Amino acid sequence: MPQITLSNITKRWKGFYGVDDLTLVIDDNAFVTLLGPSGCGKTTTLRMIAGLETPTSGRISIGDEVVFDSEAGIDVPPNRRHVGFLFQNYALWPNMTVYQNIAFGLENDKSYTKKMIQERVDEVADIVKIGSFLKRYPAELSGGQQQRVAIARTLAPKPGVLFMDEPLSNLDAKLRLEMRSELQRLHIETGATFVYVTHDQMEAMTLATKICLLDNGVLQQYDAPLDVYHRPVNLFAADFVGNPAINFINAQGVAPQGVSQQGAEIKLELLEGKQVVFTPSSGVALPDWYATQQLADEQAAAQLAERKASPKYVEKENKESNFKYRIAKSGELGGTPQDLSDSSQDFVVGVRPEFVEIRESGAFEAEIYSSMPTGMETTVKLKVGDLLLTGVIFGPAIYIIGQRVRFDIDGDGIMLFSRKNGRLIATGALRIV
């Protein structure tokens, strides 16, 4: 199956950039999810690869074929790109049986005989487990069955690439879980390259071999799901991926930091004056790290200046702004937005809820603000001063609102971000001094 390559793809409407200078390689037989908040450019990216939207500039290749090149004037129409498209709306013909719906595209392909069409319809119907429904009409099917018909119709012409634009959003929670499992199985069985658009980070985490995280038309991170979860490149990525959401805690360096080598310690102050030590999992020299970041910023600024020098460049109206991460506080819905800092001694500690451990010997004291047991796990909110921390306690546990408890921030997956630029410095462990 083909590899998909996007080179410096931009889509703008006058001064509004839906996608801004996106370069991306989708490997053969990959399952890539385009993830991000509403309006981030994920559907626009999908439609440009499929040929349903014309990029303003850039180059797109599917396999060895260049399907779009703004400089060379190439724009291959959608029907010649050998791709399949699955929409949020199933778009089934209500006056046709399941068999007729699946066969519709094949009947317009003169290379298929009636016998070949019947064999192919039977084959894809068996793959998606709707072989017994071929004589029914769409109105006689459940939502999940209608979605399977739409998938079968898309698979019937044997596309090398399958595009899906939020195909599960119309299903209830139980059916969505079932269809996620089916899509994973289909990906392996068909050997096709899947490109999947969603704003649901749980779908992205469970389905993808790689996540392409976008915000305001700009690529934020392109990595395997667990890499995005455990090593997000910045505060936005850490905040967007994860349910329950990550805890952000402001921290200050208690002394000027020298060079931190493998296993060295960075002293911080957080949670109402508690002094802790952050031990990076791998060596990090803070002065060198900041110097590297500054160099990267200068290179990005130089590239932008080069783009602006082109007579075709149009000033971007929807400019990037620093992500305002939120600190959860009692009595404030959604948390308090936090600005970045000018000081290299200001940090943000990121703690996933599973690293909050309630135990009698814990180093921190808190009050149970809320407790939500589900049987397999209990999600608690701990009040430390006016701050709220979310924890996930696995197994049966009952806590009473207002109860005083002690807890630790445990594990080696704690994240340390620079509050100066919002980027990840290192992951590691915390211990109280």
Same domain, 143 and 274: no
The CATH number of whichever domain residue 184 belongs to comes to: 3.40.50.300
Instruction: Give dist(CA 47, CA 9) in Å, integer.
Output: 12
- The dihedral through the CA atoms of 268, 270, 272, 275 has a sign that is negative
Same domain, 144 and 274: no
Same domain, 147 and 266: no
Same domain, 208 and 250: no
The DSSP symbol for 282 reads S
Instruction: Give dist(CA 148, CA 153) in Å, integer.
Output: 9
Q: Tell me the per-residue pLDDT of 105-119, one tens digit each, with 9 for 90 and over.
A: 898 888 889 999 999
Side chain identity at residue 169, one-letter code? S
Residue 242's alpha-carbon distances to 197, 338, 352, 353, in angstroms, are 17, 19, 8, 9
Same domain, 24 and 168: yes
Instruction: Give dist(CA 108, CA 119) in Å, integer.
Output: 16
Same domain, 226 and 357: no
- Residue 102, in any domain of the structure: yes
- Residue 406, in any domain of the structure: yes
- Residue 357, in any domain of the structure: yes
- The total number of structural domains that make up the chain: 2
Residue 328's alpha-carbon distances to 85, 89, 98, 247, 381, in angstroms, are 40, 37, 50, 8, 10
Q: Which tokens in the block code for residue 181?
A: 């499992």
Selection from 345, 342, 340 nearest residue 257 by Cα: 345
Same domain, 209 and 340: no
Residue 90's alpha-carbon distances to 150, 169, 257, 328, 348, in angstroms, are 6, 11, 57, 40, 44
pLDDT tier for residue 256 given thresholds of 50, 70 and 90: low
Q: What is the pTM of this model?
A: 0.90
For residue 258, what pLDDT is reported? 44
Beta carbons of 51 and 45 less than 8 angstroms apart? no
- Residue 82, in any domain of the structure: yes
Same domain, 174 and 288: no
Domain assignment of residue 341, given as a range: 243-310+324-432
Same domain, 372 and 340: yes
| Residue finishing a domain among 209, 230, 251 | 230
- Residue 236, in any domain of the structure: no
Query: Which residue bears the tokens 């020299």?
Result: 285
pLDDT tier for residue 360 given thresholds of 50, 70 and 90: very high
Average pLDDT, the chain: 91
Same domain, 160 and 209: yes
Q: Tell me the per-residue pLDDT of 157-192, one tens digit each, with 9 for 90 and over.
A: 888 899 999 888 877 788 788 888 888 988 988 888
Instruction: Give dist(CA 424, CA 280) in Å, integer.
Output: 12
- Residue 315, in any domain of the structure: no
Phi, psi of 81 (to 5 degrees): -95, -5
pLDDT tier for residue 38 given thresholds of 50, 70 and 90: very high
The DSSP symbol for 234 reads B
| Residue finishing a domain among 181, 205, 230 | 230
Q: Which helix (H) or strand (E) holds 125?
A: helix 114-127
> How is 47-90 classified by DSSP, letter by letter?
HHHHTSS--SEEEEEETTEEEEETTTTEE--GGGS-EEEE-SS-
Same domain, 299 and 165: no
Instruction: Give dist(CA 433, CA 430) in Å, integer.
Output: 10
Q: Tell me the per-residue pLDDT of 390-433, one tens digit each, with 9 for 90 and over.
A: 999 998 888 999 999 999 999 999 999 999 999 999 999 998 88
pLDDT exceeds cutoff 60 at 98? yes
- Specify the higher pLDDT residue, 218 or 344: 218
Q: Which helix (H) or strand (E) holds 179?
A: helix 173-190
| Residue finishing a domain among 178, 205, 230 | 230
For residue 287, what pLDDT is reported? 87
- Residue 319, in any domain of the structure: no
Q: Tell me the per-residue pLDDT of 186-235, one tens digit each, with 9 for 90 and over.
A: 898 888 899 999 988 999 999 999 999 999 999 999 999 999 999 999 99
Same domain, 30 and 86: yes
Sequence-ordered list of residues with C-beta below 8 angstroms from that of 326, at least 6 positions apart, any chain: 239, 248, 334, 335, 336, 337, 338
- Residue 262, in any domain of the structure: yes
